[in-house]
């Protein structure tokens, strides 16, 4: 969300939600739920677990929204809550969400390339699913969610340099996985 007017509107939604406005909360849910669902699905590997974690995350958001000091930090804050919920679920199963330790997407889409249709997108998502949790998390936050390194750092609780480094290795792992499938990034 790079549009300044959209950023301002979202800050206002957060402030209204903090003041108890349920309509503002519903709009924030509508804006974030699909992306959070995808993020959780990539972390948990299970649609049903992702749905449950998403509901738990929204409950956590409603309980603690008053403690959010900067309305502009809502995106990183809500992703951090969702990530924490995923981590709890994975710990109960004996697995953990690894933390995130190049610029531009690992695979640059082209509108005039007919091969980048559903088949190529499916191959990219399948390759993404085969990556380690830390690499999936890095790629999803940066390239699918468009987060800055600083926001990613807030979400995963690691220094920005670590985030950059892990993202570099994640891009390399995705490129290698795609090349093994015969897809040139």
Which of 142, 139, 161, 162 lies closest to 151 in space, CA to CA? 142
Distance CA 34, CA 31 (A): 7
Using DSSP's 3-state secondary structure scheme, residue 185 falls into: coil
Residues 152/142, Cβ–Cβ less than 8 Å: yes
Query: What's the gap between Cα 108 and its chain centre?
Result: 19
What dihedral angle (degrees, nearest 10) is formed by the CA atoms of 94, 95, 101, 103? -170
Say what percent of the chain tops pLDDT 90: 50
Residues 86/96, Cβ–Cβ less than 8 Å: no
Asked if domains 4-92 and 114-180 share a fold, the reply is no
Distance CA 81, CA 8 (A): 22
Q: Torsions phi, psi of 54, nearest 5?
A: -65, -45
Domain range annotation of the chain: 4-92, 114-180
Report the predicted TM-score, pTM, of the whole model to 2 decimal places. 0.68
Instruction: Please tell me the CATH code under which domain 4-92 is placed.
Output: 1.10.1740.10
Which of 61, 37, 59, 60 lies closest to 50 in space, CA to CA? 37
CATH topology of domain 114-180: Arc Repressor Mutant, subunit A (1.10.10)
Q: Is pLDDT of 97 > 80?
A: no
**How does pLDDT run across 130-175, given as a tens digit for each residue?**
888 889 889 988 888 888 999 899 889 999 999 999 999 999 999 8
Q: Is pLDDT of 1 > 50?
A: yes
């Amino acid at each position: 969300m790079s549009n300044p007017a959209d950023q301002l509107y979202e800050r206002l939604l957060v402030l209204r939600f903090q003041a108890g406005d349920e309509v503002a909360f519903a709009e924030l849910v509508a804006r974030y739920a699909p992306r959070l669902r995808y993020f959780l699905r990539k972390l948990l590997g299970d649609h049903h677990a992702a749905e449950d974690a998403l509901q738990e995350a929204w409950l956590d958001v409603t309980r603690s929204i008053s403690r959010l000091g900067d309305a502009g930090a809502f995106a990183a804050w809500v992703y951090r809550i969702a990530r924490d919920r995923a981590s709890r679920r994975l710990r109960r199963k004996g697995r953990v969400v690894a933390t995130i330790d190049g610029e531009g997407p690992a695979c640059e889409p082209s509108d005039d390339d007919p091969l980048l249709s559903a088949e190529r997108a499916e191959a990219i998502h399948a390759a993404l699913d085969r990556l380690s949790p830390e690499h999936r998390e890095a790629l999803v936050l940066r390239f699918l969610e468009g987060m800055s390194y600083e926001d990613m750092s807030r979400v995963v609780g690691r220094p920005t340099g670590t985030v950059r480094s892990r993202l570099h290795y994640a891009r390399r792992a995705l490129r290698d996985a795609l090349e093994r499938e015969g897809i040139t990034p």
